[in-house]
Amino acid sequence: MSLTARIADWSAGHWKTVVTGWIVLVVALALVAGHVGTHNQTDLDQMTGESQVGARMLADAGLEADAGEVVLITSRAHAAASADAAALAARIAERVRAFPGVSNVQFDAEELVAADDAARIVTFDLDEAGGVQTADLVGPIRAAVTELDAAHDGFRVQQFGDASIDADIGELVGSDLGRAETLTAPVTLVILFLTFGALVAAGLPLLIGGVSVFAALSLGSILSHLLPQSEFAPNVVSMLGIALGVDYTLFLLRREREERAAGYGRREAIVRAAATSGSAVVVSGITVIVAMSGLLVSGVGMFVSMGFAAMLVVAMVLLAALFVVPALLGVLGDGVERGRLPRLTRRRRAQPRRARTSDSRFWGAVVRIGVRRPGLTVVLVGALLVGACLPVLGMETGDSTTAELPRNKPALAALAAYEPHFPGGAEPAKVVVRDDSEGATGAARIERAFTRLERRALAAGATSGPGSIRVSEDGRTHLLSVPLVSAATRAGKDHALLRLRRQVGQTVGAMPSTTVAVAGSDADSHDYTQVLAHHLPLVFLVVLGSAFVLLMCAFRSVVVPLVAVTLNLLSVGAAYGFLVWGFQNRHLAALLPIGESGVVVSWMPMFLFALLFGLSMDYHVFMISRIREQVARGTPRVTRSFGACGGVPRRSRARR
């Protein structure tokens, strides 16, 4: 017997040991994870390139920017410069000063009143106090602002800022993902019930997938102390774990039911299913792991974490499929078909045992067309896929902004109300300089270099005016915040940033014994996109090369992996094309809430490639494995693909 068959034979005969061991493993992982907690990635962990260097220098010097918050006051009945509006601004300032972490409260400066006299603002900074995160500090302040809004008729009081917007976005993303994950289980259960016609058989794949996800999440929390975990890693684990748990269990369960229907005993049916479908599951799982491992060379901490988490959950699903599924089938036997609807039960009992594995009429008809007209099928389907790939030639990647988000959250609604009254330019770029020389700090020479930089950057069209300087307590790190010229497009912002960096290199960067970096939100976005673009070919090479070698070893063929890689690249390209057509070109705007940016989010192509390539290869392996099995049995060529669709074709049964 093959290794998978021997594992299944042992698991079916020792089901108590396997199930108990699986439960103990899952509970132990959960207890350890609960004890040690999860070490999540910081903003620094997710940055890249020069902007990460600059941000780290600021953090080491204690010069991180505080979270800026704004309270917006608007009124239809009162002018912004009126005494009533000014008095309300003073009350707001007095109220927010009482909260921990609040500093630099501004409420009466002339620039805080809009030019159209229709709005005024109160600004303050929010810094972590006593180890409490800004996300926790901002909650009570927002509650107080809401109370002030309710207590003052004729005025609208709203708050937004770094911390409050982050809180709203986190809540929005969390609720959307939670709703999607909540809908996944019942919809999947219904589909599985329609497939098997029995509740036990339908629930088994969900059980395996769900427990595997729970185990992978616990193991990921433990290992996060070695590799910090991205906030999106649990969502990837949940999505991929449920999908593959259902796939692998369904594949094994369906094959075991076929073997039982063919007249084999309970134990032998499990072993035969593991020897055939189990081997395909192993190859498929390793292929998915290889595909997701491509994210490890992405150069971005967030992707490295998600790729590692995906590999963990696939390994957990494989472990459950090889050991736990045969054990459960061994104890359940034909009881796996319990929970049938009476009508389905009567229909099934009325059929002879061998007649229960009839092939699907629909898929049988589809495959017959492809087998009888292979050349025409290849041309037509190939042309369709190539045509679907064509929009990829016009793909434009960029950043998502708050303008893309719905306005049903308080901070996002406040930001939308603020922008018409206080149109502003781009966020400032941060030129960070650390003096590495021994002895006295060269503060004077750095300030002179800053002056030259501002003059040359303004002449080069990189900045819109002078900036402000901050110095660390030890006097060794200097921060020059300079406003970049406003630009409506990502390309325009990048040009301004690159011009500034060029001037930095010729002025501040030319000084000896200094470390210089340009950071800030625009620099972070630019560096992030550049790192992704630089590492994307490496990700493609790792994924495609590893998958090709793996399939070549598994099927002992060069043609099979070549065809598989080509077809799956076409399918991924078609998915990219649909993404560009529907979202970038906004053809789906009437059906879905699509933003106005007209770009594909920069991280999407790399993540989708690894995910889609892995899953599409997953199904390709299933099909090829079943076809190869039919070949080994001597099935005529024209019927091999019918067997791959599940069940025995009529022509083959007639010959029997």
What are 248-266's pLDDT values in tens digits? 999 999 899 989 988 899 9
Calculate the CA 322 to chain-centre distance.
Answer: 28
Give yes or no: residues 82 and 210 share one domain: no
Give yes or no: residues 233 and 329 share one domain: yes
Handedness of CA 395, 398, 399, 400 (dihedral sign): negative
**Residue 343: is its pLDDT beyond 80?**
no
CATH number of the structural domain spanning residue 111? 3.30.70.1320
**Residue 645: is its pLDDT beyond 80?**
no
The total number of structural domains in the chain stands at: 4
Q: Using a CB cutoff of 8 Å and minimum separation of 24, what contacts does 358-366 make?
A: 358/647, 358/648, 358/650, 359/642, 359/643, 359/645, 359/646, 359/647, 359/648, 359/649, 359/650, 360/645, 360/646, 360/647, 363/645, 363/646, 364/642, 364/645, 364/649
Give yes or no: residues 481 and 601 share one domain: no
CATH number of the structural domain spanning residue 294? 1.20.1640.10
Give yes or no: residues 114 and 221 share one domain: no
**Residue 130: is its pLDDT beyond 60?**
no
Stretch 188-216: mean pLDDT: 89
- Report whether 214 contacts 30 (CB < 8 A): yes
Residue 192 lies in a domain: no
Residue 5 confidence (pLDDT): 94
Residue 325 confidence (pLDDT): 95
d(CA 454, CA 451): 5
Residue 352 confidence (pLDDT): 39
**Residue 654: is its pLDDT beyond 50?**
no
Name the percent of the chain lying above pLDDT 90: 39
Give yes or no: residues 352 and 293 share one domain: yes
User: Beta strand pairing status for 600-601 and 397-398?
Assistant: parallel
Give yes or no: residues 343 and 385 share one domain: no
Handedness of CA 381, 386, 389, 390 (dihedral sign): negative
- Give the DSSP letter string of 476-517: -EEEEEEEBPP-SSHHHHHHHHHHHHHHHHHTGGGSTTEEEE
Residue 437 confidence (pLDDT): 75
**Residue 603: is its pLDDT beyond 90?**
no
Give yes or no: residues 445 and 559 share one domain: no
Q: How confident is the model at residue 650 (pLDDT cuts 50, 70, 90)?
A: very low
Residue 46 lies in a domain: no
* Of the residues 326, 357, 388, the one at which a domain ends: 357
Residue 441 confidence (pLDDT): 55
What is the reported pTM? 0.82
3-class secondary structure per residue, 68-93: EEEEEEECCCCCCCCHHHHHHHHHHH
- Report whether 627 contacts 559 (CB < 8 A): no
Residue 356 confidence (pLDDT): 45
Give yes or no: residues 241 and 388 share one domain: no
**For the ranges 166-175, 234-243, 369-378, which has the lowest average pLDDT?**
166-175
**Residue 656: is its pLDDT beyond 70?**
no
- Report whether 286 contacts 379 (CB < 8 A): no
Calculate the CA 436 to chain-centre distance.
Answer: 39
d(CA 633, CA 137): 68
Span 272-321, pLDDT tens digits = 999 999 999 999 999 999 999 999 999 899 999 999 999 999 999 999 99
Residue 88 lies in a domain: yes
- Give the DSSP letter string of 14-83: THHHHHHHHHHHHHHHHHHHHHH---BPPHHHH--HHHHHHHHHHHHHT-PPPEEEEEEEE-SSS-TTSH
Q: Between the CA of residue 578 and those of 111, 194, 316, 618, what are the distances in Å?
A: 47, 30, 32, 21
Q: How confident is the model at residue 489 (pLDDT cuts 50, 70, 90)?
A: low
CATH number of the structural domain spanning residue 493? 3.30.70.1440
**Residue 525: both structure tokens together:** 């976005």
**Residue 123: is its pLDDT beyond 60?**
yes
Residue 488 confidence (pLDDT): 57
**Residue 231: is its pLDDT beyond 80?**
yes
Give yes or no: residues 393 and 437 share one domain: no
* Of the residues 141, 164, 187, the one at which a domain ends: 164
Residue 174 lies in a domain: no
Residue 406 lies in a domain: yes
d(CA 592, CA 582): 10
Q: Between the CA of residue 123 and those of 11, 109, 141, 426, 468, what are the distances in Å?
A: 65, 10, 13, 18, 18
Residue 509 confidence (pLDDT): 87
Q: Which residue has the higher pLDDT, 350 or 545?
A: 545
Q: At what angle do helices 279-293 and 301-319 cross, to 10 degrees?
A: 170
* Of the residues 164, 187, 219, the one at which a domain ends: 164
Residue 181 lies in a domain: no
Give yes or no: residues 156 and 235 share one domain: no
Stretch 210-219: mean pLDDT: 95
Stretch 557-568: mean pLDDT: 90
Residue 177 lies in a domain: no
Residue 398 confidence (pLDDT): 73
Give yes or no: residues 150 and 298 share one domain: no
Residue 350 confidence (pLDDT): 38
Residue 366 confidence (pLDDT): 81
**Residue 133: is its pLDDT beyond 80?**
no
d(CA 384, CA 275): 37
**For the ranges 99-113, 486-500, 604-618, which has the lowest average pLDDT?**
486-500
d(CA 472, CA 4): 62
Residue 545 confidence (pLDDT): 92
Q: Which residue has the higher pLDDT, 61 or 323?
A: 323
Instruction: Give 407's DSSP letter.
Output: S
d(CA 234, CA 31): 18
**Residue 67: is its pLDDT beyond 60?**
yes
**Residue 129: is its pLDDT beyond 70?**
no
Residue 600 lies in a domain: yes
d(CA 311, CA 241): 10
R_g of the chain computed on alpha carbons: 31
- Provide the mean pLDDT of the chain: 84
**Residue 351: is its pLDDT beyond 60?**
no
User: Domain range for residue 246?
Assistant: 1-37+197-357
Give yes or no: residues 593 and 634 share one domain: yes
Span 139-163, pLDDT tens digits = 899 999 999 999 998 899 999 988 8
Residue 93 confidence (pLDDT): 93
